[in-house]
Structures are given as structure tokens and as C-alpha cells.
Chain A
Amino acid sequence: MSYFYTFDPQNDYFEFIKSLVEDYPMYFHQPKRLADIIALFRYNGEVTAIVETDYVDKQYRDSYYAYYSQKYSDYRRNCVRVAFFEGALNIQQFISKPNEEIESRFIGTIVFRPLNIGMIGQTFLDPLKLKVEGFFQTCQIRSLVCGRKLTVRAFPFSSQDAETMTCAETSLYNLIKYYAIKYSEYRELMPIEILTCIESTYYERVLPSLGISEEYIAKVLSESHFYPRLYTGVEGFSDLINIYAESGMPFIWGLPGHVVNCIGHGKYKENLAIDQLEPYVECREIDDKNYYFLSDSALIDGYIVMDDNKAPYYKTTLNEITAEYYIEVNPDSEGKIINSTLREVIKETDAIIVPLPRRIFIDAARAKQIYESCFLTDPWFLDDIIVANGLKGWGTTPQNPFVWRIFLTTSNKYKDYKVRSTSNQKLVEHYMSSPFPRFIWVLEIGSISSYENRQAYVEIILDATSSIYSENWGILSIAYNKHFIFVPSISKVINSQIKKMNVESSRPELSLADQSLSCEWEEAPDQSYLTAIFHFLYNELDDSYGERFRMFNNLEEE
């Protein structure tokens, strides 16, 4: 049976929730949870809620048959699903209006389970229709509401029932579901399948669930055809969170006694004043000279997480969310947490588990290290980009630091963006015709002012399938004002040239000029390939790249 309710989410949401509690008392044990979600509705007018009773929710059914059906007390098999639409709609209008119009008003659906704890079941709400701002990932969800096929873009969300699914299983379920909907190589795992996966190597029973530790979360992801990486207590942990969030790769974030899904980050801050950013500027002394760096994490307004204890699309920061859950686990510490203890807490308790796809051999920690060693701490390179861009004081004063951003993306997405956004014909042809690996790491360096216009000066691409042991350290291309090299296109030339020089150096009949060139190579230590790359970069001018270029947008703006 379906019922139509119309209410104003700003004023009479309480009346609406009250009538739901009265009409379906078994399904609304935690009305506050629904109120929190309705508070996110952006629409100012009336909202229509279509309530479908006896709804079969596959996630709850799975838990029901494996667990709830075996209890002495009665548990219902079916759920209630509520679909929300902007504006007042009656049955006649709902049936007769074209699909596009109904879809344009569709906010999403929430399933309500007949449980005392964890009444919010599978929830798919369009963040565009909620008060959510930022850059994050969503997938297209298809649902049938009252006989009409509708689609909505959302990230899967649900609350934990604490018996078959705790926070870890809920996060896993939603994360795997997201990837399964978006990419054909993954398959959705049902709650009990997740537990069975753990059971094979676990020494205790898995039902009722007592929670999962990080290594088992990684194990489940592994079994689901991901190639996960687990980071905890590692150097530069906050940078890793930022890199993966920038990469548009939703991941599991372990907190003190809790787990959430991180799906992206908030908006870029506007009208940035340097005195606000100065605490985040990092000074590095390289060859008796100071260089200043700022990670782009200082410029974004928090991360967007799916926390099963809160409403979906919750915006928070690393410090905020860690302190919140640390206090929940250790109530005595309330009011005593200071920055230094928080750093320790993050190091001790926070973790991220990233479900990397296959063939990303260089992960974020390694990519960052390559960028750090070869570019961000290399005075020759840093001086060259300052000179090439003619920006005096850039990177050498704390007021004007190098702003860097690292992310992973697919070459298809990247090329598509570049071909559309680049005006230089030669460069467009390069992106049209050059073969790239499936996944690439990108480092963009800009200044605070260029970032405000979403522009950068330097772009360095790494081949994610490479390693530091390859002769080019995985460097695919380096580009800044009037300097551009694409390593695969010059590798043949370099290889043949090096080989030729090695042979010719042993021939006495060479001209003096040739001998001097060969001698220089002979004396040079063993980095000839890389030397050639950087020699090319510094000395061969190429006007493909201008002073600034538009930054790549890896995430969908909501």
C-alpha cells in the first residue's frame, strides 16, 4: 500500500514525523534520526512523501533470514520505504507527469526497518537537493516508486543495527555497493556475505557481530576484488587522507572505536587571508635556503563522510571527528584534549583503508615520496620553476608558498578534461594521440592566488603502474611555463643516443667535439636516463605549456 503525505520540511516536519510514528509505530523507534535527515532538505516549499508499506529491502531481508528470524521474539520481514519529492504532488499528478519532471523533483528514498536500533535502512538521497556543499562521489541509483522507474545520484547510506551490522560492516556494505553500481568489475556483498568472508579466518563467532578490526576490513575488500591498502600511524597520515579524498576514491576511515566512509571534501575556502593559512605553511631548509610549502588540505573546508551515527553527507575535519569519537570512548578525557594529545590520538587510533583498483602499483605514500624527493625538495627544480614563471618570492616567503595538490585519476578522465580545456593545438594533439597508462598520479603546484582561480603553474604526472626502480622513476611528464617533456616520446631518442655514445666513446677516430660529449657521459655517474630527462627539461624550451593552466577537477561538484 502507498500513502501520500505533504508537509513543509522547514515548519511542520515535526507533525509529519509524529504522524509516521503513529501510523507505523514498529518502524519509527528513533524519530530523531529522521528529523536529522529532514533538517538537511534544502527545498523551501512543500515536500511530498510517498510511503510504501510492506517493502522488501534486500539488505534487511538478508539480515532477517540469517539472524532475526531465529529469535524467540517476533521480528517483521518487511520494511517501510519513504520516497521524497520537492513540491506538492497528488496521485493523479504523480502518475500523469512525465518522468523527467518527476525525476527533477526526486530527493531520494529512505528505508525504515522494524528494529529498535538502526531503524534507518538503505538510504539514497540526492546531495544536490540537500544542504551539502563540496566535491564528492555519488553513483546512479535506480528505484521503482509506486510503479514509476526513477533514478537518483547518491552515495549509499544506512545506519547500523548493532547485531548483524556494526559500523564496520555498514561502511563496508555501502562502500562496496557504491563501487559495484559504478564499476562492472565489482559485485555487491550482502551483510551475511561480509560476515562469512571474515568467518573463514576469524577465531570467534561473527554473529551477533562484535565489530571488525582494520585488517579484517581490508580482508573483506580483498575478497571483493579490490587491492586495498591500510595506513595507520604512518608519517604524513593527514596528507594521505587528503590525497585519497582529492582522488575521488571513497575509502574507509577508522576512528577511535568507530568507522566511517569518506567520500570527498568540502568546498574550497574563498577570500583566503594569509594570516589564517600561515599556521599550515611548512618551511623546508634546502641547501641553506628556505622554501615554503602549503598542502591544499589547508584550503578545503573539511571532508564529507558517511557516518552511520549521523545524517548522511556529514562535513567534518580530521581533528574534529577524531576528538569526538575519542571522547565517546574515553569520557574522562572531555575538555582535556589539546592539540598535542590529539596528534598522538590520531597516530594511535586513526586508520584509513583504501580500496584501490587493480594495477595501481604506486600508492599514495609512494607517489608522495617520489614527488617529495624529486621535485618538492629539489632546489634545482624549485629554482627553475620560479625563474620560468618569473614569480619572484614564490615559494621563498611564508606569505607566498608553493601550494601543492596530489591526486590519482584515470588517464581517460584526465585526457578528456585536457582536450576540452586546453587551447594550445599542439598540446591537444599530444593528449589525443599519446598512449597513457590506465591510472596516473598528478602533482599540481600553484600559489594561493592561482588556487583561488582554480589554476596552477606546474604539473607532473607519474605512471601509477611504474616503480622507483624503473629508469625514469615512473615520471611520465613534467610541464611548466615553456617547459614540457613527455617521457615516452623521448625515451627512444634517449636510449639510442646513450647507447651510441657508449659505443663511440671507445672509438679513437671520433672528432674532438664528439669526444668531449662522450667523455662527459663516460664520467657521469649511473643516472644517464634520468639525467637526459632533466637535461631535456631544463634546456629544451617548448612553448606548449603557458604560464598557468586550469586545474583538473577530479570530483563532481555538488
Chain B
Amino acid sequence: MAIKKIEVTRPAKQTRFVPKKGAKHSVRALSLHLRETSKELTRKMHEIDLEEKRSWAKARTRTTK
């Protein structure tokens, strides 16, 4: 008996990405906006790292529980 292979789910849609002219936000504007966001995000992550280092330093000087 031949074994039938049944596809249960559809393969993912293959979309061609074309930056549209007259789209909601132009590629350049969107890219610039995201670059700013990215810079800000990196800065905030450094802040979190510093805060966490301080957090450990504080824990070392704390009384016991």
C-alpha cells in the first residue's frame, strides 16, 4: 500500500517586500525614526545594567532576612 503524505498546514506565505511609494510612512522617515529609537533603547539598556550593578552592591551591604 502506498503511503500518502498529507499536508496538514499550509506553508508560510512568501511575500515580496517592496517599499511602497506613498506608503503610510516613507522608508527613509521610518528608518530615521527607528534609528533614534534604537539609540535611545541602547542608552536605556546601559542604564538598566548600571542600576543592576548598584542593586547588587546594595544587597551586599544589607541586613539579613
Separation of A378 and B7 alpha carbons in the complex (Å): 41
The 8 Å CB contact of A527, one of B38, B54, B64, B65, is B38
> Which residues of chain A come closer than 8 Å to B62, judged between CB atoms?
213-214, 232, 349, 351
Known contacts A231-B52, A366-B45, A468-B42, A527 near B31 by CB under 8 Å: yes
Q: Which residue of A lies closest to B48 (CB)?
A: A365
Interface code A187-219, partner B: CB below 8 Å = 1, 0 otherwise? 000000000000000000000001111110110
A517 within 8 A of B: yes
What per-residue 1/0 map shows which CB atoms of B42-64 lie under 8 Å from chain A?
10110110011011101110111
Q: Is A235 among interface residues, defined by CB-CB distance under 8 A?
A: yes
B4 within 8 A of partner (CB)? no
A486 to B12, CA, bound (A): 10
**Is B18 on the interface with A (CB-CB < 8 A)?**
yes
Docked-complex contact B33 and A490, CB < 8 angstroms: no
Q: Check A530/B17 contact, CB under 8 A, given A213-B64, A254-B65.
A: no
Counting CB contacts under 8 A, is A494 at the interface?
A: yes
Distance A365 CA – B42 CA, assembled complex (angstroms):
13
B45 touches A521 (CB 8 A): no
In whole Å, how far is B64's beta carbon from the nearest beta carbon of chain A? 3
Q: Give CA–CA (A214, B21) in the complex, Å.
A: 56
Q: Which residues from chain B contact A530 at a C-beta distance below 8 Å?
A: 31, 34, 38
With the chains together, A557 CA to B64 CA distance in Å? 34
Contact (Cβ within 8 A) B10 A429: yes
A5 CB-CB contact with B under 8 Å:
no
Minimum Cβ distance to chain B for residue A484 (Å): 11
Interface size for chain B: under 10, 10 to 19, 20 to 34, or 35 or more residues? 35 or more
> Which B residues have a C-beta under 8 Å from some C-beta of A?
8-10, 12-21, 23-28, 30-35, 37-38, 40-42, 44-45, 47-48, 51-52, 54-56, 58-60, 62-65
Determine whether the beta carbon of B64 is less than 8 Å from that of A535: no
Minimum distance in angstroms from B12 CB to a CB of chain A: 4
Q: Beyond A351-B59, A374-B37, A520-B26, is A531–B65 a contact (Cβ under 8 Å)? A: no
Please tell me if A489 contacts chain B, counting CB pairs below 8 Å.
yes
* Interface pair B56/A230, CB less than 8 Å apart: yes
CB-nearest residue of chain B to A469: B42
Assess the A489–B59 pair: CB atoms within 8 A: no
Tell me if A212 and B13 are in contact (CB < 8 A). Answer: no
Residue of A nearest to B18 (CB): A517
The answer to whether A520 and B28 touch across the interface, beta carbons within 8 angstroms, is: yes
Q: A257-B65, A524-B31, A530-B31 are in contact. List 13 more A-B contacts (CB 8 A).
A: A168-B65, A235-B47, A429-B10, A489-B13, A517-B21, A520-B26, A520-B28, A524-B27, A525-B32, A527-B34, A534-B25, A534-B30, A536-B15
Asked if A145 lies at the interface with its beta carbon under 8 angstroms from chain B, I say no
A378 to B30, CA, bound (A): 11
Chain B residues with CB under 8 Å of A254's CB are 65
**A215 and B59 contact, Cβ closer than 8 Å, known pairs A525-B31, A535-B19:** yes
- The chain B residue sitting closest to A467, CB to CB, is B45
By the criterion CB–CB under 8 Å, are A232 and B58 in contact? yes
* Alpha-carbon distance between A280 and B63 when the two chains are bound, in angstroms: 32
If A210-B64, A539-B23 touch, whether A531 touches B18 (CB-CB below 8 Å) is no
- A526 touching B35, Cβ below 8 Å: yes
Q: Which one of B38, B40, B64 lies within 8 Å of A212 (CB-CB)?
A: B64
Which of B17, B32, B58, B65 is in CB contact (< 8 Å) with A211? Answer: B65
The answer to whether A277 has its CB under 8 Å from any CB of chain B is no
Residue from B17, B20, B31, B59 in contact with A494 in the complex, judged by beta carbons closer than 8 Å: B17
Which single member of B17, B24, B42, B64 contacts A493 (CB below 8 Å)?
A: B17
Residues in chain B near residue A45, CB distance under 8 A: none
19 A-B pairs whose Cβ atoms sit less than 8 Å apart in the complex: A167-B65, A211-B64, A212-B64, A213-B59, A213-B62, A214-B62, A215-B60, A230-B59, A255-B65, A373-B41, A429-B9, A468-B42, A494-B17, A520-B28, A524-B28, A525-B32, A527-B38, A530-B31, A530-B34
Min CB distance B35 to A, Å, is 5
The answer to whether A230 touches B55, judged by C-beta atoms less than 8 angstroms apart, is yes
Those of A511-545 within 8 Å (CB) of chain B: 516-517, 520-521, 523-528, 530-532, 534-536, 538-540
- Residues on B with C-beta less than 8 A from A213 are 59-60, 62-65
Chain A residues with CB below 8 A from B32, complex form:
524-525
A473 touches B52 (CB 8 A): no
With A213-B59, A259-B65 known as contacts, the answer to whether A493 contacts B15 (CB < 8 A) is: yes
Which chain A residues lie closer than 8 Å to B13 at the CB level?
489
Give, as a whole number of angstroms, the nearest-CB distance from B15 to chain A.
Answer: 6
Known: A231-B55, A257-B65, A535-B27. A468 touches B48 (CB 8 A): no
A497-B17 CB under 8 A given contacts A213-B63, A215-B56, A535-B23: yes
Expressed in whole angstroms, the Cα–Cα distance for A269 and B48 within the complex equals 32
Give the residue of B9, B17, B24, B51 whose beta carbon is less than 8 angstroms from that of A234.
B51
Name the residue on A nearest B52 (C-beta).
Answer: A234
* Chain A positions within 8 Å of B34 at CB level: 527, 530-531, 534
Complex-state Cα separation, A532 to B15, whole angstroms? 12
Q: Is residue A166 contacting chain B, with contact meaning CB distance below 8 A?
A: yes
A538 near B24 (CB under 8 angstroms)?
yes
